[in-house]
C-alpha cells in the first residue's frame, strides 16, 4: 500500500485596510518589503539557476549562503533588506530551483528509457548512474574531466557519445531561468513575528520597530509563515500550516476496494456505479465562457487603442479605455468566485464518497502528467481542458484519504478507458461518447463506470505495473486480444466427438476485428 505523508493544512488570517486592521503607511511598508524581497529572489534565480551552480545546490548553506554572507559584509551586494529577509529569499529560491531540476531529471530519465534499442543496457546503466550522482552530472554538464567509476566502466560503450547525449537531453528539458513578478509576498521565520493580543507584529526594515496588523482570528502560529499582500482587496493575508488529525478508523470485517475514475463531466465515478459531483462540467463551462468572452471584449478594445494611436491626437480616449476597461479587478474576482465553487463541490463530493461508501483501499489513476503532443482542439476546448482541476481533485483525494484512514494505491492509467471491464477486450479507438460499447461481448456500459472498474482490476494486474510505459501497456493489451480471439476460433467438440467448423458469420466477425489490429 502506498505510504502517505501526514498532510498539513494551510490556514489563513486576515488584516483589512478598510477595517483599520492595518494603516495605509504600514501597508506601504509591507509592500516595500515585498518588492525588495522579490528583487532578491530574482537576483538569486539569475545566479544559481544555471548548470554551473548545479553541484552547489546540494550543500547550499556552505557553498552559497556563507559565500554571500561574506560578500555582503564586504559591501559587494546590497539587498536593501535585513539579513533575515534576504536569507529567507535565498532559501525560498534554492527550494524552487531544486524542484525544477528534479522535474527536469525525471523527464530526462523517461527520454532515455523510451529510446528502446537505440541504446544498449550498458549505455543506459551508465547514463542513469551519471544522472543519479550529482557531482558526476555536474562534471558532464560543464564538460569537466572526471574518473569513470568502476561500476559503469564498460569496454563496449563510447563515453564521449553518451556524455553528449546527456547534455543534449538535459538542455531539451531544463526550464528557463525562473523569474518572479508577484511582488506581493514574503516568508517569515518564527523569530521575525510575534503576537500581542489581536495583533501580529512583523519585523520591518527599521531596527527595533515592528509593523502591527490586527488579525481576524485567535489562532497563533508557531512555525514559519508567509505574508501575502492582496492589493486588489486591500488586505494582508497570513498563511500558516497546521498538522492534520485523522479520524478514528472503523473496524471492517472485509477489505473493501473501490476504484475511482476522474473525468471532465463529474468529480469522481466509482466502480460501484456511483457518481459524485455530476454538475462540475457546468462550472467548467461557466469558467471558460467568462475567460473567453472577457478576452474577446478586451481584444476588441486593444485593437481600438491601436487604431487611435495610428490616427493620433486621441490620447484622452486611449487613457479612458485603459483606465475603465482594461483593469484586472473585475475579471479576477469572477474567476476567483468560480474557482471557489469548484473547490467547494470537489471537497463536498469526495467527503460524501468516503462517508457513504466507507472504502478501505482506493486505487486511483495518476493524471498529473504534462502532454507534449500538439493539441487538436480549438481555443475554447483548450480552455475547458485547462480548467479541469484533475490535479486538485487528486490532491484532495489523497488529503481526505489520510483524514479518513483510507489506503490509496496508484495504478497505471494507460488504456483504462479503452478496455472492456467485463471481458477485458481492448479497443484501439473509441468513438462512443459517454457510452462504452465492447465489440467482443457486445455489452454497453457508461464509459466512466467502465473506467472505474478497470482501475480496480488493474490493482491486481501483475503484468502492468505503475511505471510500465504506455507503449508497453498497449502491447500487452493487444497480445491479450489476440489470445482471446484465438480461443474463440478453436473448434469445440460436440456430443458425437465430431469437430464443428465455424460459420461464415463467425469468420467474418473475427476477420473484421483482426483487421483493426
364 strand-pairing partners = 410
Q: What is the pLDDT of residues 92-119, one digit of tens each?
A: 999 999 999 999 999 999 899 888 788 9
Task: Tell me the backbone φ, ψ of residue 280, rounded to 5 degrees.
Answer: -70, -25
What is the C-alpha to C-alpha distance for residues 416 and 478, in angstroms, rounded to an integer?
A: 13
CA nearest neighbour of 466 among 421, 404, 517, 411: 411
304 or 104, which is more confident: 104
Ranking 55-64, 207-216, 298-307, 475-484 by mean pLDDT, the lowest is 298-307
43 or 230, which is more confident: 43
What is the C-alpha to C-alpha distance for residues 153 and 141, in angstroms, rounded to an integer?
A: 19
What is the C-alpha to C-alpha distance for residues 206 and 81, in angstroms, rounded to an integer?
A: 9
408 strand-pairing partners = 362
Q: From the DSSP assignment, how many helices (H) and strands (E) are in the chain?
A: 15, 14
Residue 70: is its pLDDT beyond 70?
yes
What is the C-alpha to C-alpha distance for residues 409 and 282, in angstroms, rounded to an integer?
A: 30
8 A C-beta contact, residue 270 and residue 259: yes
Has this prediction a pTM greater than 0.75? no
Residue 492: is its pLDDT beyond 50?
no
| CA-derived radius of gyration, the chain | 29
Q: Which contiguous run of DSSP H or E holds residue 239? A: strand 235-243
Highest mean pLDDT among 2-11, 116-125, 391-400, 498-507: 116-125
What is the C-alpha to C-alpha distance for residues 452 and 365, in angstroms, rounded to an integer?
A: 9
419 strand-pairing partners = 426
pLDDT of residue 506: 45
Q: What is the pLDDT of residues 247-264, one digit of tens each?
A: 666 655 577 899 998 877
Residues contacting 264, CB < 8 A, separation 6+ = 281, 284, 384, 385, 388
3-state secondary structure of 341: helix
Neighbours of 133 (CB within 10 A): 15
pLDDT averaged over every residue in the chain: 83
pLDDT of residue 38: 93
Residue in the structure block whose three cell numbers are 482542439 = 377
Residue 334: is its pLDDT beyond 80?
no
Q: Calculate the dihedral angle through the C-alpha atoms of 434, 435, 439, 442, rounding to the nearest 10 degrees.
A: 180
Q: What is the pLDDT of residues 335-346, one digit of tens each?
A: 778 778 888 888
Q: Calculate the dihedral angle through the C-alpha atoms of 440, 444, 449, 453, rounding to the nearest 10 degrees.
A: -30
237 strand-pairing partners = 14, 228
8 A C-beta contact, residue 201 and residue 216: no
Helices (H), 114-238: 121-132, 134-141, 159-173
Q: Calculate the dihedral angle through the C-alpha atoms of 471, 476, 481, 486, rounding to the nearest 10 degrees.
A: 130
What is the C-alpha to C-alpha distance for residues 194 and 209, in angstroms, rounded to an integer?
A: 12
pLDDT of residue 322: 79
pLDDT of residue 495: 36
Neighbours of 408 (CB within 10 A): 20
Q: How confident is the model at residue 484 (pLDDT cuts 50, 70, 90)?
A: confident
Q: What is the pLDDT of residues 408-423, one digit of tens each?
A: 888 888 888 888 888 8
Ramachandran region, residue 313 (left: φ > 0; alpha: ψ -120 to 50; beta: rest): left
What is the C-alpha to C-alpha distance for residues 361 and 461, in angstroms, rounded to an integer?
A: 16
pLDDT of residue 178: 78
What is the C-alpha to C-alpha distance for residues 501 and 17, in angstroms, rounded to an integer?
A: 86
Residue 380: is its pLDDT beyond 70?
no
3-state secondary structure of 40: helix
Q: How confident is the model at residue 329 (pLDDT cuts 50, 70, 90)?
A: confident
8 A C-beta contact, residue 114 and residue 27: no
Q: Which residues of 448-472 are buried (b: 16+ CB within 10 A; e: fewer)?
A: bbbbbbbbbbbeeeeebeeeeeeeb
Calculate what percentage of the chain has a pLDDT beyond 90: 38
8 A C-beta contact, residue 59 and residue 135: no
CA atoms within 13 A on the CB side of 325: 17
Inter-axis angle of helices 379-387 and 280-311, nearest 10: 130
Amino acid at each position: 500500500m502506498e505510504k502517505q505523508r501526514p498532510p498539513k493544512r494551510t490556514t489563513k488570517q486576515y488584516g483589512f485596510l478598510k477595517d483599520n486592521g492595518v494603516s495605509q503607511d504600514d501597508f506601504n511598508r509591507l509592500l516595500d518589503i515585498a518588492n525588495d524581497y522579490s528583487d532578491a529572489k530574482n537576483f538569486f534565480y539569475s545566479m544559481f539557476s544555471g548548470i554551473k551552480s548545479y553541484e552547489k545546490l546540494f550543500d547550499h548553506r556552505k557553498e552559497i549562503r556563507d559565500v554571500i554572507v561574506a560578500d555582503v559584509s564586504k559591501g559587494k551586494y546590497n539587498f536593501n533588506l535585513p539579513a533575515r529577509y534576504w536569507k529567507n529569499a535565498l532559501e525560498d529560491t534554492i527550494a524552487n530551483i531544486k524542484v525544477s531540476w528534479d522535474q527536469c531529471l525525471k523527464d530526462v530519465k523517461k527520454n532515455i528509457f523510451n529510446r528502446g534499442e537505440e541504446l544498449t543496457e550498458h549505455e543506459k546503466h551508465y547514463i542513469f548512474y551519471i544522472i543519479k550522482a550529482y557531482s558526476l552530472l555536474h562534471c558532464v554538464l560543464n564538460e569537466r574531466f572526471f574518473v569513470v567509476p568502476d561500476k559503469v566502466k564498460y569496454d563496449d560503450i563510447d563515453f564521449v557519445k553518451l556524455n553528449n547525449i546527456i547534455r543534449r537531453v538535459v538542455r531539451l528539458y531544463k526550464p528557463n531561468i525562473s523569474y518572479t513578478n508577484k511582488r506581493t509576498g514574503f516568508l517569515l521565520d518564527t523569530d521575525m513575528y510575534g503576537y500581542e493580543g489581536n495583533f501580529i507584529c512583523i519585523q520591518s526594515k527599521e531596527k527595533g520597530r515592528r509593523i502591527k496588523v490586527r488579525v481576524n482570528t485567535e489562532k497563533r502560529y508557531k512555525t514559519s509563515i508567509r505574508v501575502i499582500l492582496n492589493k486588489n482587496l486591500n488586505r494582508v493575508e497570513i498563511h500558516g500550516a497546521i498538522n492534520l488529525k485523522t479520524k478514528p478508523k472503523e473496524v471492517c470485517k472485509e477489505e473493501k476496494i473501490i476504484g475511482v475514475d476522474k473525468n471532465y463531466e463529474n468529480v469522481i465515478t466509482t466502480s460501484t456505479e456511483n457518481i459524485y459531483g455530476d454538475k462540475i462540467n457546468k462550472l467548467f463551462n461557466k469558467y471558460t465562457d467568462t475567460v473567453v468572452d472577457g478576452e474577446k471584449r478586451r481584444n476588441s478594445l486593444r485593437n481600438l487603442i491601436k487604431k487611435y494611436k495610428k490616427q493620433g491626437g486621441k490620447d484622452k480616449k486611449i487613457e479612458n479605455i485603459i483606465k475603465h476597461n482594461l483593469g484586472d479587478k473585475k475579471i479576477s474576482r469572477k474567476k476567483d468566485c468560480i474557482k471557489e465553487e469548484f473547490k467547494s463541490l470537489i471537497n463536498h463530493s469526495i467527503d460524501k464518497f468516503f462517508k457513504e461508501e466507507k472504502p478501505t483501499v482506493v486505487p486511483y489513476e495518476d493524471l498529473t502528467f504534462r502532454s507534449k503532443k500538439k493539441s487538436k482542439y480549438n481555443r475554447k476546448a483548450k480552455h475547458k481542458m485547462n480548467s479541469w482541476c484533475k490535479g486538485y481533485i487528486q490532491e484532495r483525494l489523497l488529503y481526505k484519504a489520510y483524514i479518513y484512514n483510507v489506503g490509496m494505491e496508484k495504478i497505471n492509467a494507460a488504456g483504462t478507458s479503452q478496455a472492456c471491464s467485463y471481458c477485458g477486450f481492448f479497443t484501439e479507438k473509441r468513438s462512443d461518447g459517454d457510452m462504452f460499447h465492447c465489440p467482443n461481448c457486445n455489452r454497453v456500459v457508461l464509459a466512466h463506470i467502465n473506467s472505474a472498474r478497470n482501475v480496480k482490476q488493474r490493482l491486481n494486474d501483475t503484468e502492468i505495473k505503475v511505471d510500465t510505459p504506455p507503449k508497453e501497456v498497449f502491447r500487452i493489451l493487444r497480445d491479450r486480444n489476440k489470445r482471446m480471439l484465438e480461443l474463440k476460433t478453436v473448434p469445440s467438440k460436440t456430443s458425437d466427438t465430431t469437430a464443428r467448423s465455424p460459420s461464415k458469420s463467425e469468420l467474418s466477425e473475427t476477420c473484421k476485428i483482426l483487421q483493426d489490429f
